[in-house]
Amino acid sequence: MRALLGLGAVLLCYGVAALVGSAILVNRGWTPPAQGVTIYVADNGIHTDLVLPARDFADLVRAEHFADPRQAAQPMRMFGWGDRDFYLNTPRWRDVNPIRVLGALAGAGKTVLHVTASPVPEAGPKLRALRLRPQEYARLVAYVRATFAGAPVRGYGAHDAFYAARGGYSALGTCNEWSAGGLRAAGVRMGAWTPFAFGVMRWL
């Protein structure tokens, strides 16, 4: 019982810290430009992805990396970062198990970038459009490119692939914090620490 109470206290403190961290603004004075490069941030409720034009990653994400090379003609690329073991072994939510989750949160393994070929999406409640100035966009592209660290591995289907990535996943450095880190590097208004998806999306 004492162990359960201790775990509950840790989880509560983590949740409160996430709320506070996402409320502390970085780049507070940022405003979107009237003209610029449009990107998207996608949210499935747990995980966020950055959706950027494919042209700036053509040398890293090539047609032969997809099970169906024709998918490379799609104009956008969706980027998600996370724990390698978790990503490669949980193609569906029903494949998630507590041991794999705890291993990822403990920072025990390597990381990957999940890259998906995508059409230009339609903005909505779970997919926000964001316009960036050219120099802001260039910083975001540099951030994503710097995360690539190795050869590709085939993805879940015909239109995606995984790449070895830099950085260590943990409870402090989550997939959502990676997405937010790119936006902060670009100069976009964002929470100081955003381990959950809602912390990323609240400012977009």
- What pLDDT score does 13 carry? 79
In the predicted model, what is the mean pLDDT of residues 148-158? Answer: 93
Total number of domains constituting the chain: 1
- What pLDDT score does 86 carry? 82
pLDDT band at 130 (very low <50, low <70, confident <90, very high): very high
Span 81-125, pLDDT tens digits:
999 888 877 766 666 666 665 655 666 679 999 999 999 999 998
Alpha carbons within 13 angstroms on the beta-carbon side of residue 40 total 21
* Averaged pLDDT of the chain: 90
**174 closest CA partner among 143, 145, 200:** 200
Dist CA 1 CA 92 (whole Å): 33
Kindly state the DSSP code that residue 66 receives in the 8-state scheme. Answer: S
pTM for the model stands at 0.91
Starting at the edge strand found earlier in the chain, the sheet holding 160-165 runs: 127-132, 37-43, 48-53, 76-83, 111-118, 160-165, 148-154
- What pLDDT score does 104 carry? 55
Q: Tokens 């997919």 label which residue?
A: 127
- What pLDDT score does 98 carry? 64
Q: Tokens 């949210």 label which residue?
A: 43
Strand partners, 26: 190
Dist CA 184 CA 28 (whole Å): 10
Domain span holding position 151: 2-201
Dist CA 121 CA 191 (whole Å): 25
Among the ranges given (38-42, 76-80, 122-126, 184-188), the one the predictor scored with the smallest mean pLDDT: 122-126
In the predicted model, what is the mean pLDDT of residues 130-142? Answer: 98
Span 10-60, pLDDT tens digits:
667 788 889 999 999 999 999 999 999 999 999 999 999 999 999 999 999
